[in-house]
Copies of this chain bind each other. A is one copy, B any other.
Protein backbone atom coordinates (compact mmCIF):
# COMPACT_ATOMS: atom_id res chain seq x y z
CA UNK A 1 0.00 0.00 0.00
CA UNK A 2 1.30 3.47 -0.88
CA UNK A 3 1.60 5.98 1.85
CA UNK A 4 -1.52 8.09 1.57
CA UNK A 5 0.08 11.36 2.53
CA UNK A 6 2.72 11.00 -0.21
CA UNK A 7 -0.03 10.14 -2.64
CA UNK A 8 -2.02 13.19 -1.58
CA UNK A 9 0.94 15.48 -2.14
CA UNK A 10 1.71 13.98 -5.54
CA UNK A 11 -1.88 14.50 -6.67
CA UNK A 12 -1.97 18.00 -5.29
CA UNK A 13 1.09 18.98 -7.30
CA UNK A 14 -0.18 17.24 -10.44
CA UNK A 15 -3.47 19.11 -10.04
CA UNK A 16 -1.67 22.43 -9.93
CA UNK A 17 0.19 21.59 -13.13
CA UNK A 18 -2.96 20.62 -15.01
CA UNK A 19 -5.61 23.02 -13.77
CA UNK A 20 -4.61 26.25 -15.58
CA UNK A 21 -4.36 24.66 -19.04
CA UNK A 22 -7.16 25.48 -21.49
CA UNK A 23 -8.17 22.05 -22.70
CA UNK A 24 -10.74 21.14 -25.29
CA UNK A 25 -11.61 17.98 -27.24
CA UNK A 26 -8.64 18.76 -29.53
CA UNK A 27 -5.68 21.07 -29.56
CA UNK A 28 -2.47 22.00 -27.76
CA UNK A 29 -4.05 22.15 -24.28
CA UNK A 30 -5.10 18.52 -24.52
CA UNK A 31 -1.65 17.44 -25.78
CA UNK A 32 0.12 19.36 -23.03
CA UNK A 33 -2.11 17.78 -20.40
CA UNK A 34 -1.49 14.26 -21.72
CA UNK A 35 2.25 14.93 -21.65
CA UNK A 36 2.05 15.95 -18.00
CA UNK A 37 0.05 12.83 -17.05
CA UNK A 38 2.63 10.75 -18.93
CA UNK A 39 5.09 11.51 -16.19
CA UNK A 40 2.90 9.34 -13.90
CA UNK A 41 1.63 6.65 -16.30
CA UNK A 42 3.78 5.53 -19.27
CA UNK A 43 1.11 6.57 -21.76
CA UNK A 44 1.29 6.07 -25.49
CA UNK A 45 -0.20 9.21 -27.01
CA UNK A 46 -1.98 8.76 -30.33
CA UNK A 47 -3.33 11.26 -32.88
CA UNK A 48 -6.18 10.79 -35.35
CA UNK A 49 -6.47 13.39 -38.16
CA UNK A 50 -9.21 15.98 -38.29
CA UNK A 51 -11.95 14.92 -40.69
CA UNK A 52 -11.65 11.22 -39.91
CA UNK A 53 -15.02 9.44 -39.82
CA UNK A 54 -15.78 7.89 -36.47
CA UNK A 55 -18.98 5.83 -36.73
CA UNK A 56 -21.78 8.39 -37.14
CA UNK A 57 -19.40 11.26 -36.26
CA UNK A 58 -16.46 13.11 -37.79
CA UNK A 59 -13.40 14.40 -35.94
CA UNK A 60 -13.69 18.20 -36.08
CA UNK A 61 -10.91 20.60 -37.05
CA UNK A 62 -8.44 21.23 -34.24
CA UNK A 63 -9.21 24.33 -32.18
CA UNK A 64 -6.47 26.65 -31.01
CA UNK A 65 -7.20 29.53 -28.69
CA UNK A 66 -4.74 32.31 -27.91
CA UNK A 67 -6.72 35.09 -26.29
CA UNK A 68 -10.26 36.39 -25.76
CA UNK A 69 -11.69 39.48 -24.17
CA UNK A 70 -15.03 41.29 -23.98
CA UNK A 71 -14.67 45.02 -23.37
CA UNK A 72 -17.61 47.23 -22.42
CA UNK A 73 -18.58 50.76 -23.48
CA UNK A 74 -17.15 51.85 -20.13
CA UNK A 75 -13.78 50.29 -21.00
CA UNK A 76 -14.23 47.57 -18.43
CA UNK A 77 -13.28 43.96 -19.32
CA UNK A 78 -16.38 41.83 -18.72
CA UNK A 79 -14.84 38.53 -19.84
CA UNK A 80 -11.16 37.76 -19.94
CA UNK A 81 -9.63 34.49 -21.18
CA UNK A 82 -6.41 35.35 -19.38
CA UNK A 83 -8.25 35.45 -16.08
CA UNK A 84 -10.32 32.30 -16.58
CA UNK A 85 -10.39 30.17 -19.70
CA UNK A 86 -14.05 29.37 -18.98
CA UNK A 87 -14.96 32.91 -20.07
CA UNK A 88 -14.83 32.01 -23.76
CA UNK A 89 -17.23 29.49 -25.30
CA UNK A 90 -15.09 26.45 -25.98
CA UNK A 91 -14.53 26.05 -29.76
CA UNK A 92 -15.42 29.70 -30.45
CA UNK A 93 -14.54 30.92 -33.93
CA UNK A 94 -12.33 34.06 -34.12
CA UNK A 95 -14.07 37.42 -33.83
CA UNK A 96 -12.97 41.05 -33.62
CA UNK A 97 -16.14 43.10 -33.73
CA UNK A 98 -17.73 46.11 -32.11
CA UNK A 99 -21.43 45.66 -31.49
CA UNK A 100 -24.28 47.00 -29.44
CA UNK A 101 -25.50 45.07 -26.38
CA UNK A 102 -28.65 43.76 -28.06
CA UNK A 103 -26.57 42.41 -30.97
CA UNK A 104 -24.10 40.89 -28.54
CA UNK A 105 -26.70 39.32 -26.31
CA UNK A 106 -27.17 36.01 -28.21
CA UNK A 107 -23.42 35.43 -27.73
CA UNK A 108 -23.51 35.76 -23.96
CA UNK A 109 -23.99 32.72 -21.72
CA UNK A 110 -24.81 32.68 -18.03
CA UNK A 111 -26.32 30.33 -15.50
CA UNK A 112 -29.07 32.16 -13.60
CA UNK A 113 -29.27 29.25 -11.12
CA UNK A 114 -25.71 29.91 -9.93
CA UNK A 115 -25.70 33.62 -10.67
CA UNK A 116 -22.24 34.49 -9.39
CA UNK A 117 -20.39 31.77 -11.30
CA UNK A 118 -18.96 31.69 -14.81
CA UNK A 119 -20.56 28.74 -16.61
CA UNK A 120 -18.75 26.31 -18.89
CA UNK A 121 -20.22 26.31 -22.42
CA UNK A 122 -19.13 24.52 -25.60
CA UNK A 123 -20.12 24.52 -29.24
CA UNK A 124 -17.97 21.85 -30.82
CA UNK A 125 -19.99 21.07 -33.90
CA UNK A 126 -21.79 24.31 -34.69
CA UNK A 127 -19.59 27.27 -35.61
CA UNK A 128 -20.34 30.22 -33.38
CA UNK A 129 -18.58 32.35 -30.80
CA UNK A 130 -19.49 33.52 -27.36
CA UNK A 131 -18.51 34.65 -23.88
CA UNK A 132 -19.50 33.19 -20.52
CA UNK A 133 -19.97 35.36 -17.48
CA UNK A 134 -21.73 35.39 -14.12
CA UNK A 135 -25.43 36.12 -14.43
CA UNK A 136 -25.11 38.85 -11.78
CA UNK A 137 -22.64 40.72 -13.97
CA UNK A 138 -24.69 40.07 -17.11
CA UNK A 139 -27.71 41.67 -15.43
CA UNK A 140 -25.75 44.88 -14.81
CA UNK A 141 -24.15 45.22 -18.26
CA UNK A 142 -24.37 48.86 -19.39
CA UNK A 143 -25.88 49.78 -22.76
CA UNK A 144 -23.56 50.85 -25.52
CA UNK A 145 -20.95 49.43 -27.83
CA UNK A 146 -18.85 46.42 -26.85
CA UNK A 147 -15.67 45.02 -28.28
CA UNK A 148 -15.76 41.26 -28.76
CA UNK A 149 -12.34 39.88 -29.39
CA UNK A 150 -11.48 36.20 -29.73
CA UNK A 151 -8.13 35.16 -31.14
CA UNK A 152 -8.63 31.52 -32.13
CA UNK A 153 -8.19 29.38 -35.22
CA UNK A 154 -9.27 26.03 -36.65
CA UNK A 155 -6.57 23.94 -38.24
CA UNK A 156 -6.28 20.55 -39.90
CA UNK A 157 -4.79 18.85 -36.93
CA UNK A 158 -5.70 15.81 -34.92
CA UNK A 159 -7.61 14.44 -31.97
CA UNK A 160 -5.41 12.91 -29.28
CA UNK A 161 -5.92 10.11 -26.85
CA UNK A 162 -3.55 8.09 -24.70
CA UNK A 163 -3.35 4.63 -23.22
CA UNK A 164 -1.13 2.24 -21.31
CA UNK A 165 -1.39 -1.33 -20.03
CA UNK A 166 -0.18 -3.24 -17.00
CA UNK A 167 0.28 -6.85 -18.06
CA UNK A 168 -1.36 -9.60 -16.01
CA UNK A 169 -1.38 -13.40 -16.21
CA UNK A 170 -4.33 -13.42 -18.54
CA UNK A 171 -4.85 -11.72 -21.88
CA UNK A 172 -8.28 -10.75 -20.62
CA UNK A 173 -8.42 -7.09 -19.74
CA UNK A 174 -9.91 -4.64 -17.32
CA UNK A 175 -10.48 -1.14 -18.72
CA UNK A 176 -10.00 1.96 -16.57
CA UNK A 177 -10.97 4.98 -18.61
CA UNK A 178 -11.24 8.70 -17.89
CA UNK A 179 -11.39 11.90 -19.89
CA UNK A 180 -9.47 15.15 -20.43
CA UNK A 181 -11.24 17.89 -22.40
CA UNK A 182 -12.69 20.48 -20.02
CA UNK A 183 -10.62 23.60 -19.33
CA UNK A 184 -10.14 24.73 -15.74
CA UNK A 185 -12.56 22.44 -13.91
CA UNK A 186 -11.72 20.14 -11.04
CA UNK A 187 -14.17 17.46 -9.96
CA UNK A 188 -15.68 17.07 -13.42
CA UNK A 189 -12.33 17.00 -15.20
CA UNK A 190 -9.18 16.39 -13.22
CA UNK A 191 -10.52 14.02 -10.53
CA UNK A 192 -10.67 11.15 -13.05
CA UNK A 193 -7.18 11.43 -14.53
CA UNK A 194 -5.68 12.02 -11.08
CA UNK A 195 -7.30 8.89 -9.64
CA UNK A 196 -6.21 7.03 -12.77
CA UNK A 197 -2.58 7.82 -11.99
CA UNK A 198 -3.05 6.56 -8.44
CA UNK A 199 -4.61 3.34 -9.64
CA UNK A 200 -1.77 2.77 -12.08
CA UNK A 201 0.77 3.12 -9.27
CA UNK A 202 -1.23 0.97 -6.86
CA UNK A 203 -1.88 -1.87 -9.34
CA UNK A 204 1.74 -1.84 -10.47
CA UNK A 205 2.70 -2.76 -6.91
CA UNK A 206 0.46 -5.82 -6.71
CA UNK A 207 2.36 -9.11 -6.31
CA UNK A 208 0.16 -10.71 -8.90
CA UNK A 209 -2.34 -9.49 -11.46
CA UNK A 210 -4.76 -11.95 -13.01
CA UNK A 211 -6.09 -9.53 -15.59
CA UNK A 212 -4.21 -7.12 -17.84
CA UNK A 213 -5.21 -3.55 -16.95
CA UNK A 214 -5.76 -1.00 -19.68
CA UNK A 215 -5.62 2.71 -18.74
CA UNK A 216 -7.27 5.11 -21.20
CA UNK A 217 -7.40 8.93 -21.26
CA UNK A 218 -9.29 10.69 -24.04
CA UNK A 219 -11.56 13.66 -24.61
CA UNK A 220 -15.12 12.78 -23.56
CA UNK A 221 -17.60 11.39 -26.11
CA UNK A 222 -15.70 12.01 -29.40
CA UNK A 223 -12.56 10.66 -27.78
CA UNK A 224 -14.06 7.44 -26.53
CA UNK A 225 -15.86 7.05 -29.87
CA UNK A 226 -12.46 7.38 -31.56
CA UNK A 227 -10.97 4.91 -29.13
CA UNK A 228 -13.76 2.43 -29.86
CA UNK A 229 -13.34 3.01 -33.58
CA UNK A 230 -9.68 2.03 -33.32
CA UNK A 231 -9.75 -0.48 -30.46
CA UNK A 232 -13.41 -1.51 -30.09
CA UNK A 233 -12.97 -4.96 -31.60
CA UNK A 234 -10.00 -5.60 -29.36
CA UNK A 235 -12.04 -4.57 -26.32
CA UNK A 236 -14.98 -6.70 -27.45
CA UNK A 237 -12.82 -9.82 -27.55
CA UNK A 238 -10.73 -9.12 -24.46
CA UNK A 239 -12.67 -7.15 -21.93
CA UNK A 240 -13.58 -8.88 -18.67
CA UNK A 241 -14.84 -5.63 -17.18
CA UNK A 242 -14.17 -1.96 -16.87
CA UNK A 243 -14.86 1.25 -15.01
CA UNK A 244 -15.16 4.80 -16.26
CA UNK A 245 -13.76 7.27 -13.71
CA UNK A 246 -15.54 10.60 -13.32
CA UNK A 247 -16.24 13.18 -10.60
CA UNK A 248 -14.33 11.24 -7.95
CA UNK A 249 -13.88 14.11 -5.51
CA UNK A 250 -16.17 16.48 -3.71
CA UNK A 251 -18.03 16.35 -0.44
CA UNK A 252 -19.97 13.07 -0.83
CA UNK A 253 -18.99 10.48 1.73
CA UNK A 254 -19.38 7.37 -0.38
CA UNK A 255 -18.70 6.30 -3.92
CA UNK A 256 -21.50 5.82 -6.39
CA UNK A 257 -21.45 3.01 -8.96
CA UNK A 258 -23.39 3.16 -12.20
CA UNK A 259 -23.95 -0.35 -13.52
CA UNK A 260 -23.10 -1.53 -16.99
CA UNK A 261 -25.85 -1.68 -19.58
CA UNK A 262 -25.95 -5.46 -19.05
CA UNK A 263 -26.67 -4.84 -15.37
CA UNK A 264 -25.41 -8.33 -14.48
CA UNK A 265 -21.82 -8.09 -15.67
CA UNK A 266 -19.20 -9.41 -13.27
CA UNK A 267 -18.11 -5.85 -12.47
CA UNK A 268 -21.71 -5.06 -11.46
CA UNK A 269 -21.84 -8.17 -9.32
CA UNK A 270 -18.62 -7.37 -7.49
CA UNK A 271 -19.74 -3.78 -6.84
CA UNK A 272 -23.03 -5.02 -5.41
CA UNK A 273 -21.30 -7.73 -3.40
CA UNK A 274 -18.87 -5.29 -1.78
CA UNK A 275 -21.66 -2.78 -1.22
CA UNK A 276 -23.82 -5.42 0.47
CA UNK A 277 -21.29 -7.41 2.44
CA UNK A 278 -17.98 -5.55 2.26
CA UNK A 279 -16.44 -2.70 4.16
CA UNK A 280 -17.68 -0.04 1.73
CA UNK A 281 -21.13 1.27 1.11
CA UNK A 282 -21.90 2.40 -2.44
CA UNK A 283 -24.77 4.17 -4.05
CA UNK A 284 -25.76 1.89 -6.92
CA UNK A 285 -27.20 3.72 -9.94
CA UNK A 286 -28.80 1.76 -12.78
CA UNK A 287 -27.40 2.20 -16.28
CA UNK A 288 -28.96 4.90 -18.41
CA UNK A 289 -27.86 6.23 -21.79
CA UNK A 290 -29.46 9.61 -21.04
CA UNK A 291 -26.66 11.03 -18.94
CA UNK A 292 -23.16 10.17 -17.80
CA UNK A 293 -19.71 9.90 -19.25
CA UNK A 294 -17.92 7.61 -21.70
CA UNK A 295 -19.68 4.49 -20.42
CA UNK A 296 -22.48 5.70 -22.72
CA UNK A 297 -20.20 4.94 -25.67
CA UNK A 298 -18.64 1.76 -24.28
CA UNK A 299 -22.16 0.52 -23.53
CA UNK A 300 -23.73 1.56 -26.83
CA UNK A 301 -25.68 -1.41 -28.20
CA UNK A 302 -23.13 -2.26 -30.91
CA UNK A 303 -20.44 -2.73 -28.26
CA UNK A 304 -22.38 -3.37 -25.04
CA UNK A 305 -19.11 -3.73 -23.15
CA UNK A 306 -19.13 -4.71 -19.48
CA UNK A 307 -18.11 -1.22 -18.38
CA UNK A 308 -19.58 0.52 -15.34
CA UNK A 309 -18.79 3.93 -13.91
CA UNK A 310 -17.51 5.15 -10.55
CA UNK A 311 -18.15 8.64 -9.21
CA UNK A 312 -18.30 10.32 -5.84
CA UNK A 313 -19.97 13.71 -6.17
CA UNK A 314 -21.91 13.04 -9.33
CA UNK A 315 -22.18 15.32 -12.41
CA UNK A 316 -25.35 17.40 -12.43
CA UNK A 317 -25.95 16.82 -8.74
CA UNK A 318 -23.84 19.68 -7.34
CA UNK A 319 -24.13 23.42 -7.76
CA UNK A 320 -20.63 23.86 -9.17
CA UNK A 321 -21.22 21.40 -12.00
CA UNK A 322 -20.03 23.00 -15.26
CA UNK A 323 -19.04 26.33 -13.74
CA UNK A 324 -16.03 27.85 -12.01
CA UNK A 325 -17.19 26.81 -8.56
CA UNK A 326 -15.87 23.36 -9.49
CA UNK A 327 -12.35 24.05 -8.19
CA UNK A 328 -9.76 22.39 -5.97
CA UNK A 329 -11.38 23.59 -2.79
CA UNK A 330 -14.66 21.97 -3.80
CA UNK A 331 -13.11 18.77 -5.12
CA UNK A 332 -10.44 18.25 -2.48
CA UNK A 333 -7.39 16.04 -2.92
CA UNK A 334 -8.00 13.67 -0.01
CA UNK A 335 -11.28 12.39 -1.45
CA UNK A 336 -9.34 11.36 -4.56
CA UNK A 337 -6.96 9.27 -2.47
CA UNK A 338 -9.95 7.66 -0.77
CA UNK A 339 -11.59 7.00 -4.13
CA UNK A 340 -8.44 5.36 -5.46
CA UNK A 341 -8.17 3.17 -2.35
CA UNK A 342 -11.76 1.95 -2.62
CA UNK A 343 -11.56 1.31 -6.36
CA UNK A 344 -8.35 -0.65 -5.79
CA UNK A 345 -10.26 -2.88 -3.34
CA UNK A 346 -13.06 -3.36 -5.86
CA UNK A 347 -10.47 -4.43 -8.43
CA UNK A 348 -8.89 -6.81 -5.93
CA UNK A 349 -12.33 -8.33 -5.49
CA UNK A 350 -12.83 -8.42 -9.25
CA UNK A 351 -9.66 -10.49 -9.64
CA UNK A 352 -11.44 -13.26 -7.71
CA UNK A 353 -15.04 -12.67 -8.76
CA UNK A 354 -15.08 -15.09 -11.70
CA UNK A 355 -15.47 -18.85 -11.91
CA UNK A 356 -13.32 -21.40 -10.13
CA UNK A 357 -13.44 -25.15 -10.56
CA UNK A 358 -13.43 -27.81 -7.89
CA UNK A 359 -10.85 -30.42 -8.92
CA UNK A 360 -12.44 -33.15 -6.81
CA UNK A 361 -16.11 -32.76 -7.69
CA UNK A 362 -17.17 -36.37 -6.97
CA UNK A 363 -18.18 -36.41 -3.35
CA UNK A 364 -16.80 -34.06 -0.74
CA UNK A 365 -12.98 -33.97 -0.99
CA UNK A 366 -11.19 -35.48 1.99
CA UNK A 367 -10.24 -32.34 3.86
CA UNK A 368 -8.85 -34.19 6.88
CA UNK A 369 -5.75 -35.43 5.08
CA UNK A 370 -4.99 -31.82 4.14
CA UNK A 371 -5.43 -30.59 7.72
CA UNK A 372 -8.49 -28.62 6.70
CA UNK A 373 -10.92 -30.68 8.78
CA UNK A 374 -10.85 -31.79 12.43
CA UNK A 375 -9.70 -35.42 12.28
CA UNK A 376 -11.08 -36.15 15.71
CA UNK A 377 -14.79 -35.41 15.51
CA UNK A 378 -15.43 -34.15 19.02
CA UNK A 379 -17.58 -31.33 20.36
CA UNK A 380 -14.48 -29.66 21.86
CA UNK A 381 -11.72 -29.88 19.29
CA UNK A 382 -11.07 -27.89 16.14
CA UNK A 383 -7.98 -28.02 13.98
CA UNK A 384 -5.52 -25.30 14.69
CA UNK A 385 -2.64 -26.20 12.39
CA UNK A 386 -3.13 -22.82 10.74
CA UNK A 387 -4.42 -19.71 12.42
CA UNK A 388 -6.77 -19.04 9.53
CA UNK A 389 -8.52 -22.39 9.55
CA UNK A 390 -9.41 -22.86 13.19
CA UNK A 391 -12.94 -21.58 12.89
CA UNK A 392 -16.06 -23.49 11.84
CA UNK A 393 -16.95 -20.51 9.65
CA UNK A 394 -13.77 -20.94 7.68
CA UNK A 395 -14.65 -24.60 7.12
CA UNK A 396 -18.15 -23.63 5.99
CA UNK A 397 -16.62 -21.27 3.44
CA UNK A 398 -14.33 -23.99 2.16
CA UNK A 399 -17.22 -26.43 1.80
CA UNK A 400 -19.40 -23.87 0.02
CA UNK A 401 -16.66 -22.79 -2.37
CA UNK A 402 -15.88 -26.40 -3.23
CA UNK A 403 -19.48 -27.47 -3.67
CA UNK A 404 -20.54 -24.56 -5.85
CA UNK A 405 -17.37 -24.12 -7.90
CA UNK A 406 -18.89 -26.24 -10.60
CA UNK A 407 -18.53 -23.88 -13.54
CA UNK A 408 -22.08 -22.64 -12.98
CA UNK A 409 -21.54 -20.35 -10.00
CA UNK A 410 -19.06 -17.49 -9.96
CA UNK A 411 -17.20 -16.78 -6.73
CA UNK A 412 -19.24 -13.64 -6.32
CA UNK A 413 -22.42 -15.72 -6.37
CA UNK A 414 -20.93 -18.07 -3.78
CA UNK A 415 -19.91 -15.07 -1.68
CA UNK A 416 -23.47 -13.77 -1.84
CA UNK A 417 -24.75 -17.16 -0.64
CA UNK A 418 -22.34 -16.85 2.28
CA UNK A 419 -23.34 -13.26 3.08
CA UNK A 420 -19.67 -12.39 2.65
CA UNK A 421 -17.70 -10.15 0.35
CA UNK A 422 -15.45 -11.79 -2.22
CA UNK A 423 -12.54 -10.08 -0.49
CA UNK A 424 -13.24 -12.05 2.67
CA UNK A 425 -13.17 -15.34 0.73
CA UNK A 426 -9.73 -14.84 -0.76
CA UNK A 427 -7.86 -16.66 2.09
CA UNK A 428 -10.11 -19.73 1.65
CA UNK A 429 -9.65 -19.69 -2.13
CA UNK A 430 -5.89 -19.44 -1.76
CA UNK A 431 -5.72 -22.40 0.65
CA UNK A 432 -7.82 -24.50 -1.72
CA UNK A 433 -5.60 -23.50 -4.66
CA UNK A 434 -2.46 -24.46 -2.69
CA UNK A 435 -4.08 -27.83 -1.97
CA UNK A 436 -4.86 -28.41 -5.68
CA UNK A 437 -8.55 -28.54 -4.89
CA UNK A 438 -9.45 -25.40 -6.85
CA UNK A 439 -8.34 -23.84 -10.12
CA UNK A 440 -9.43 -20.82 -12.09
CA UNK A 441 -11.66 -21.77 -14.98
CA UNK A 442 -9.50 -22.12 -18.07
CA UNK A 443 -11.63 -20.03 -20.42
CA UNK A 444 -11.58 -17.07 -18.08
Chain A residues proximal to chain B, CB less than 8 Å: 54-57, 89, 109-113, 119, 121-123, 125-126, 128, 130, 221, 224-225, 228-229, 232, 261, 288-290, 296-297, 299-304, 322, 358, 360-366, 368-369, 375-381, 395-396, 399-400, 402-406
For residue A229, which residues in chain B have a CB less than 8 angstroms away from its CB?
362
For residue A232, which residues in chain B have a CB less than 8 angstroms away from its CB?
362
For residue A56, which residues in chain B have a CB less than 8 angstroms away from its CB?
360, 362-363, 365-366
Number of copies: 3
For residue A395, which residues in chain B have a CB less than 8 angstroms away from its CB?
290
For residue A228, which residues in chain B have a CB less than 8 angstroms away from its CB?
362-363
Cα A406 to Cα B262 in complex, Å, equals: 12
With both chains docked as a complex, state the minimum distance between the C-beta of A359 and any C-beta of chain B, in angstroms.
9
Q: Contacts A290-B399, A364-B297: A111 and B302 contacting too (C-beta < 8 A)?
A: no
Q: Which of B303, B375, B378, B403 contacts A119 (CB 8 A)?
A: B378
10 contacts between A and B (CB under 8 A): A56-B360, A56-B362, A109-B378, A109-B380, A109-B381, A121-B376, A224-B363, A289-B402, A301-B404, A303-B363
For residue A369, which residues in chain B have a CB less than 8 angstroms away from its CB?
125
Query: Are A375 and B290 touching (Cβ within 8 A)?
Result: no
Cα A299 to Cα B400 in complex, Å, equals: 12
Query: Are A302 and B399 touching (Cβ within 8 A)?
Result: no
Starting from the known contacts A288-B400, A301-B405, 4 additional A-B residue pairs (CB-CB under 8 Å) come to: A54-B363, A56-B360, A301-B402, A301-B406
Cα A406 to Cα B378 in complex, Å, equals: 53
Query: Are B121 and A225 touching (Cβ within 8 A)?
Result: no
Query: Are B57 and A363 touching (Cβ within 8 A)?
Result: yes
With both chains docked as a complex, state the minimum distance between the C-beta of A83 and any C-beta of chain B, in angstroms.
20
With both chains docked as a complex, state the minimum distance between the C-beta of A293 and any C-beta of chain B, in angstroms.
12
For residue A109, which residues in chain B have a CB less than 8 angstroms away from its CB?
376, 378, 380-381
Cα A380 to Cα B113 in complex, Å, equals: 10
Query: Are B400 and A289 touching (Cβ within 8 A)?
Result: yes
Q: Contacts A55-B360, A301-B403, A403-B301: A121 and B261 contacting too (C-beta < 8 A)?
A: no
For residue A405, which residues in chain B have a CB less than 8 angstroms away from its CB?
301
With both chains docked as a complex, state the minimum distance between the C-beta of A371 and any C-beta of chain B, in angstroms.
10
The residue on B at minimum CB distance from A130 is B376
The residue on B at minimum CB distance from A323 is B379
For residue A119, which residues in chain B have a CB less than 8 angstroms away from its CB?
378-379
Q: Contacts A225-B363, A302-B363, A403-B301: A378 and B121 contacting too (C-beta < 8 A)?
A: yes
Query: Are B125 and A375 touching (Cβ within 8 A)?
Result: yes
For residue A376, which residues in chain B have a CB less than 8 angstroms away from its CB?
89, 109, 121-123, 126, 128, 130
For residue A362, which residues in chain B have a CB less than 8 angstroms away from its CB?
55-56, 228-229, 232, 300, 302-303
Cα A395 to Cα B119 in complex, Å, equals: 22
Cα A113 to Cα B290 in complex, Å, equals: 60
Query: Are B225 and A300 touching (Cβ within 8 A)?
Result: no
For residue A112, which residues in chain B have a CB less than 8 angstroms away from its CB?
380
For residue A111, which residues in chain B have a CB less than 8 angstroms away from its CB?
379-380
Query: Are B122 and A300 touching (Cβ within 8 A)?
Result: no
Query: Are A289 and B364 touching (Cβ within 8 A)?
Result: yes
With both chains docked as a complex, state the minimum distance between the C-beta of A220 and any C-beta of chain B, in angstroms.
11
Nearest 5 Cβ contacts at the A-B interface: A302-B361, A126-B375, A289-B403, A301-B406, A302-B362
Query: Are A368 and B406 touching (Cβ within 8 A)?
Result: no
Query: Are A296 and B364 touching (Cβ within 8 A)?
Result: yes
Query: Are A261 and B403 touching (Cβ within 8 A)?
Result: yes
With both chains docked as a complex, state the minimum distance between the C-beta of A287 and any C-beta of chain B, in angstroms.
9
For residue A300, which residues in chain B have a CB less than 8 angstroms away from its CB?
361-364, 403
With both chains docked as a complex, state the minimum distance between the C-beta of A69 and any C-beta of chain B, in angstroms.
20
Cα A221 to Cα B322 in complex, Å, equals: 66
For residue A377, which residues in chain B have a CB less than 8 angstroms away from its CB?
121-123
For residue A365, which residues in chain B have a CB less than 8 angstroms away from its CB?
56
